[in-house]
Amino acid sequence: MELETFDAIVVGSGVAGGAAAQQLCQVGLRVLVLESGGTLQSENEEPAFSNISDYQVQKRCYAFSTRTSNCFANDVENPYATVHDSPFSWIRARIVGGRSLLWAGHCYRMGDEDFTAALQDGIGEEWPLRYQEIAPYYDEAERLLQVRDETNDSYSAQIKNLTAAADRLQKTNGAGLKLAPTRISHNPSKSGTLCIHCGSTSEQCVRPVTSSGSTLAAAFSTGRLTLWTHVQVHTVIVNSRGKATGVAGIRTTTGEHFEVRARVIFLCASALESTRILLNSTSNQFPDGLGNSSGVLGRYLMDHVSGIIATASFKDDGALPPENHRAGMFYIPRWQSFRGDRSPSFLRGYGYQGFIVRADHDLLPCGRTNKNPLLQKTTQKLAEHDNRTTVRLVAFGEMLPNRENYVELDKNGAKDSLGVPALKISCRLGKNELAMASDMVSCAVNYLEAAGGEIIDVQKTPWEPGLAIHEAGTCRMGNTPQVSVLNKFNQCHEISNLFVTDASCFPSVGTQNPALTIMALTIRACRYAVDQLRHGAI
């Protein structure tokens, strides 16, 4: 039977997959998007709650709730292994739109200090591009994600007061900390629709742009997009000439195996899922995984150092934030090691996301605050501060690329419910990350106290890798095929018509939330791929 053929196949429908579908459809290509999950039926319909016992890993995610549970992967059906002393929480979405339905929307650009970090300290590999090359694509990505800053936020007066305190701190000890506006994706046209996190129709909810409501919708409008749901891709098919001809997978609802062909393949399934597909795509030509002659496929897994949170109450900060009103937000970008003033205890650096919230409220991913009965112990601890505003600093730091942090196909033969080989993940925080976490705590406390706050809660122990949900690496880009899987355009060195544009391509993770960079790189890779197709190079 003749196989169905498209111009392009895109695996995954999140930030990367949606952007790839839009870019390729809008230049006239017939595109097939493959998604392992189903479709959220209606944004105004509350998802049915699933069996919580099937989500022991996923429920650790800050965005997991009775409202969002059906967006996540079922852990029983999708197992993975870890090393006994190195826990890793792999947070996975199984829904059209992927984790773009669940993210908090923070969007910050990486810069040359991130792209060239390896040249400064000798750890890992430099990025094969510079800020000037990606800047125009950041511009486009920000337009698509409707990125705005929070300078006109209703709590701007409080932020200005805290900024003044920060300025005093900086003048006192030269710490270099500076407040900046939060850069956040927000779709105002979604006001009036049900917020997936809190269920409110309030305009106060920050509703980050989703791929299903933006880039995928734009791709559908061209008439050239086909979407297959409930299909799990497990292999990229390559012919004897080393060219990718299509993908193979399984329809999750029927167990039926399928193959489909295309001229160009984009893997956008998320860092570890795309890597699993490549590791499983073995042949005589690629016995260790597709495009893995360098031996780095699956290596250099990173996530952000996270879980360090400091909270302080402020007596004289003006009016108390009202009930059911979203948090005020600000950002403190990385300030360490930019002028040669390296910390004596750690390399690279970290930044803080800041939130102004009521002391008796928990912060939801949508940006709103809400009393959470699950946090009764914390709420009781903060009860005496209920009549105050609190400032919460949430740290995100750079995890160094380390060859010994890796994923591989489980050697014990573990498979998921469909029979696809499962991953084994080995990833731990090193001495550098632990030293950084210690500095995150002390700096946050000192900063808040110097700004006039009273410390009321500090989380001092970093989370295990995976819980920042910013996993990256394992299929990195680079200047040469000897040290990388992909070139500077996200094109596989060894398979010219194969592109990987999720965060697996990152040589280093920086301190910034990765979604904006993922989208910018995807747009850039699509433009390059289309040009190569037009010139017959792939």
112-121, 152-161, 312-321: lowest mean pLDDT where?
Answer: 152-161
Q: For residues 297 and 49, is the Cβ–Cβ distance under 8 A?
A: no
Quick check: 324 pLDDT over 90?
Answer: no
Q: Mean pLDDT throughout 242-271?
A: 97
In degrees to the nearest 10, what's the CA dihedral of 93, 95, 98, 100?
Answer: -110
How high is the pLDDT of residue 206?
87
In the structure, what pLDDT confidence band is assigned to residue 49 with cuts at 50, 70 and 90?
low
Contact between 335 and 354 (Cβ < 8 Å) = no
pLDDT at 92 over 90: yes
- Taking 80 as the threshold, does the pLDDT of residue 16 lie above it? yes
pLDDT value of position 365? 78
Tell me the pLDDT tens digit for each residue of 102-151.
Answer: 999 999 999 999 999 999 999 999 999 999 999 999 999 999 999 998 65
Q: What is the mean pLDDT of residues 391-404?
A: 96
CA angle 217, 222, 223 (to 5 degrees): 100
- Asked whether the beta carbons of 488 and 128 are under 8 A apart, the reply is yes
Note the pLDDT of residue 376. Answer: 41
Higher pLDDT, 152 or 410: 410
pLDDT, position 171: 64
Give residue 139's pLDDT. 98
Q: Where are the beta strands (DSSP E) in 404-475?
A: 406-409, 423-426, 454-459
What are the structure tokens assigned to 351, written together? Answer: 């930044």
The confidence score (pLDDT) of residue 341 equals: 56
Contact 153, 533 (CB under 8 A): no
Domains and their CATH numbers in the chain: 1-40+108-144+211-290+475-538 (3.50.50.60)
Q: What is Dmax (Cα atoms) for the chain?
A: 75
The model's pTM = 0.93
Summarised one tens digit per residue, pLDDT across range 267-298 is 999 999 999 999 999 999 999 999 999 999 99
Indicate whether 167 pLDDT > 70: no
Mean pLDDT taken over the chain? 89
Task: Specify the range with the lowest mean pLDDT, choosing from 95-109, 138-152, 389-403.
Answer: 138-152
- Confidence class of residue 389 from pLDDT cuts 50, 70 and 90? confident
Residue 251 has pLDDT above 50, yes or no: yes
Name the pLDDT band for 45 (thresholds 50, 70, 90): low
Q: In degrees, to the nearest 5, what angle opens at C-alpha 410 toward C-alphas 408 and 412?
A: 150
Q: Which helix (H) or strand (E) holds 392?
A: strand 389-397
Q: Which residue has better confidence, 366 or 495?
A: 495
* Nearest Cα to Cα of residue 93 among 25, 201, 13, 175: 13
- Asked whether residue 354 carries a pLDDT value surpassing 70, the answer given is yes
Residue entry with tokens 């570890």: 272
DSSP codes, 69-108: GGGBPPTTTS--EEBTTB------B-BTTGGGGT---B--
Q: What is the mean pLDDT of residues 486-504?
A: 98
Q: What's the average model confidence in pLDDT over 190-198?
A: 79
Instruction: Determine the pLDDT at residue 398.
Output: 98
DSSP alpha helix (H) spans, 281-381: 376-381
Q: What is the mean pLDDT of residues 83-100?
A: 96
Is the per-residue pLDDT at 399 higher than 60? yes
Q: What confidence score (pLDDT) does residue 326 get?
A: 65
Stronger pLDDT, 358 or 138, i.e. the higher one: 138
